[in-house]
Amino acid sequence: MAGLVTPMALRVAVTLGLPDRLRADRPAATAHATSAGLPDTVAHLATELGVDPGALELLLGHLVTLGVVERVEGGYRTTGLGANLCADAGTGLHNLLHHGTAAGRADLAFVDLLHSVRTGEPAYPLRYGQDFWTDLAEQPHLRDAFDRQMTWRIRQRVPKFVDAVDWARFKKIVDVGGGPGDLLTAVLAAHPDVRGHLVDLEVGPARRNLGDRAEVTQGSFFDSLPTGGDAYLLFDVLHDWDDDSAGRILARCAEAMPESARLIVIEGIRGVGVATEMDLIMLVHFGGRERSVEELAKLAEPHGLALDEVTEVPGDHSVLEFRKHPI
Ligand SMILES: C[S@@+](CC[C@H](N)C(=O)[O-])C[C@H]1O[C@@H](n2cnc3c(N)ncnc32)[C@H](O)[C@@H]1O
């Protein structure tokens, strides 16, 4: 459990593209020893990848131990297990583990978990000099990778969230921090009379997904939000933030909400069907946290938001519905 070697070996393998490079549908080179005594496939591979051949051989050796690649005549092949790490495997792993993607890069901050535990602050800025969202704004390839990750994570779960809420009672849903807008897109597809308005720092993918069914505004949820919605949606947003920032997001929602509007918060609830790993990921990447229902209700209360109803989506997040109440 405590070893760092295997996770890093897998991540470096993905970053170097080894599972793709060694997949069975690529032709194998023939085996013969080089002057350095290495099979020529490793020497060629090392030259191709710009890495040290001896070190590559050590990495491949550990990947063999893990069953991710196997030795074959003339070199190495990706196994069926290792094929899960290929870019087109459809597992989402490549986008999570590659050092050049948003998640893979952010996870490297786990080396400074001790800092986060000592201070309660994210380790990410300690490593990269600024916060995660600023990096995404400045490096479009990280933003693309993050949006792909968001879409991938709910691709099979969207119908559960569409079914979990009676969306048809709302004329207009404001999706706050809606990202690529996958849930809003599915809700609007299921309810042709409902319209949407998505707000996020980055809105390119949302514009493509939502078409003319929703307005899309590029902006911050720490600033004023669009008024006049019947529902305001925060899906996996609050857990990215510490209590102070999460409170400010809730305040902006409450200010924009008409008296009759509802706030729909969809979050993993700490201790309910959510991996404890996610608690630490939120801490290290963002200084955020998964919260209990009571903690979310307490956070919302000073902003004039009263918790009305909690619906547990089986084996998944919970839906918390808030209404406005006089402060
Ligand atoms: C974990 S993602 C969730 C996205 C979306 N709600 C979903 O569930 O797919 C959090 C989103 O918050 C957005 N975000 C972060 N800081 C923001 C800010 N200051 N204003 C608006 N959106 C922000 C990010 O760009 C990202 O799309």
Q: Strands of the chain (E only): list them.
A: 69-72, 75-78, 172-176, 195-200, 214-218, 231-235, 262-267, 305-312, 318-324
Atom 14 (ligand 1) nearest CA: 177
Residue-range domain boundaries for the chain: 5-85, 99-151, 154-324
Residue 195 CA to ligand 1 center (angstroms) comes to 20
Q: How many CA atoms lie within 13 A of 14 on its CB side?
A: 25
Residue 178 CA to ligand 1 center (angstroms) comes to 6
Atom of ligand 1 nearest to the CA of 153: 9
Q: Which of 124, 130, 132, 133 is the best mutation target for the ligand 1 pocket, counting ligand atoms within 8 Å of the beta carbon and taking the most?
A: 133
Q: Which residues surround ligand 1 with Cβ inside 6 Å? A: 133, 150, 177-179, 182, 200-202, 220-222, 235-237, 240
CATH domain 5-85 topology: Arc Repressor Mutant, subunit A (1.10.10)
The tens digit of pLDDT for each residue in 64-96 reads: 999 999 999 888 999 999 999 999 999 999 999
Residue 150 CA to ligand 1 center (angstroms) comes to 10
Reported CATH class of domain 154-324 = alpha beta
pLDDT for position 272:
77
pLDDT for position 27:
53
Average confidence (pLDDT) over 281-302: 96
Same fold? 99-151, 154-324: no
pTM of the model as a whole: 0.93
Residue 200 CA to ligand 1 center (angstroms) comes to 6
Query: Percent of the chain, pLDDT > 70?
Result: 94
Residue length of the chain = 327
Q: What is the mean pLDDT of the chain?
A: 94
Atom of ligand 1 nearest to the CA of 151: 9
The tens digit of pLDDT for each residue in 215-261 reads: 999 999 999 999 999 999 999 999 999 999 999 999 999 999 999 99
Atom 20 (ligand 1) nearest CA: 220
Angle 281-296-168 (CA atoms, 0-180°, nearest 5)? 105
pLDDT band at 274 (very low <50, low <70, confident <90, very high): low
The tens digit of pLDDT for each residue in 124-183 reads: 999 999 999 999 999 999 999 999 999 999 999 999 999 999 999 999 999 999 999 999
Average confidence (pLDDT) over 10-38: 75
Average confidence (pLDDT) over 313-320: 92
Residue 117 CA to ligand 1 center (angstroms) comes to 25
Q: Which of 201, 266, 267 is the best mutation target for the ligand 1 pocket, counting ligand atoms within 8 Å of the beta carbon and taking the most?
A: 201
pLDDT for position 315:
84
Average confidence (pLDDT) over 33-54: 80
pLDDT for position 271:
78
CATH domain 99-151 topology: Helix Hairpins (1.10.287)
pLDDT for position 171:
97
Active site residues: 239
